[in-house]
Amino acid sequence: MAAYRGRFAPSPTGPLHAGSLVAALASWLDARAQGGVWLVRIEDVDTPRCPPGMDETILQQLAACGLVSDEPVVWQSQRDDLYQRALDQLIERGHAYPCGCSRKDIEAALQAQGTQRERHHIAVYPGTCRPGRGGLQGKPARAWRLQLPEPGEVAWIDRRLGPQTQNVATEVGDFILKRADGLWAYQLAVVVDDAAQGITHVVRGEDLADNTARQILLQRALGLPTPAWLHTPLVLGANGEKLSKQNGAQPLDLSDPLHALNAAAQSLSLPSQAGSPAAALSHWTGLWPHTTQIP
């Protein structure tokens, strides 16, 4: 395997837009600058949110920009066995437990313990179904959660954002690995696939940065290596909010891929008419130095 293996891992819930192209281009440039391998992985575990054919649309958009996976594209919806094996391993090692709580149960438990949940913040799971706490207490199992290790504090270095820490225990709690609707959670699928594909460097948008600590804990629980992390700047829309499928970002205009690529290059502080891929690569190399150093 090449020393450097990177990836772009879009969820096909909508077409690529200017924001997602930044992450795609950055991950491609980083892989090329290191003489590494660049992969595309379609993250369609949340099948109900993925309109049919959107995966192909994204692959076509990438190809129009000259971004083509070095190895066959992988679809998460076809990798159930791999995720089940990882969950079984976590259960065997005492790192995962079944949870019977509905959203209402969680809200009620939080209220009872006097924890006010701020609006838009995810509820920190109060640990109701933890084996040592109470377990299922006769409730049917709905989902599977990771039993966080003590302490829940994680530290890592982001190549662009610098040293980071998060206390997963107080900010997130035991998080979901398999959802009540039977679908695999993003955290489990992404960690299993990054390891299965030998990914050494994760380069993705800054909106995903706050998943990193959870993913590091999951990697440790599964005995998997932790890659180096780089979270790229977000593209803001006219309203100053992050450009996203949810706030109506326009799909990439495939009639002018060069224009789209130049705009993406600019978001990455690369000179917009970088001239040639080689020139773009030389600018990229000095930007967020390559490191594999994990604290």
Q: Which of 6, 10, 36, 257 binds ligand GLU (CB under 6 A)?
A: 10
CA dist 283 and 263 (Å) reads 15
Given the residues 139, 178, 242, 245, select the one marked as catalytic. Answer: 245
CA dist 155 and 144 (Å) reads 25
CA dist 161 and 6 (Å) reads 19
Q: Which of 208, 224, 254, 281 binds ligand GLU (CB under 6 A)?
A: 208
Query: Interacting stretch for ligand GLU, rule CB under 6 A, among 5-13, 51-59, 112-120, 140-148?
Result: 5-13
Does residue 201 belong to the site contacting ligand GLU (CB under 6 A)?
A: no
Query: Interacting stretch for ligand GLU, rule CB under 6 A, among 6-14, 141-149, 152-160, 245-253?
Result: 6-14
Q: Which of 9, 101, 129, 143 binds ligand GLU (CB under 6 A)?
A: 9
Is 139 an annotated catalytic residue?
no
Does residue 195 belong to the site contacting ligand GLU (CB under 6 A)?
A: no
Cα 114 from chain centroid (whole Å): 32
Number of residues near ligand GLU (by CB under 6 A): 7
Count other C-beta atoms under 10 Å from residue 51's C-beta: 12
**Amino acid in position 167:** N
CA dist 165 and 210 (Å) reads 10
Question: Smallest gap, in angstroms, from Cβ of residue 46 to ligand GLU?
Answer: 9
Q: Which of 11, 128, 212, 232 binds ligand GLU (CB under 6 A)?
A: 11
Question: Smallest gap, in angstroms, from Cβ of residue 204 to ligand GLU?
Answer: 4
CA dist 266 and 134 (Å) reads 53
Say if residues 152 and 168 touch (Cβ distance below 8 Å).
Answer: yes
Does residue 190 belong to the site contacting ligand GLU (CB under 6 A)?
A: yes
Q: How far is CA 229 from CA 30, 140, 163, 225, in A?
A: 11, 38, 11, 12
Within 19-48, the residues that bind ligand GLU by CB under 6 A are 43
- The values of phi and psi at residue 171, to 5°, are -100, -20
Residues forming contacts to ligand GLU in the complex (CB under 6 A) are 9-11, 43, 190, 204, 208
The catalytic residue positions are 245
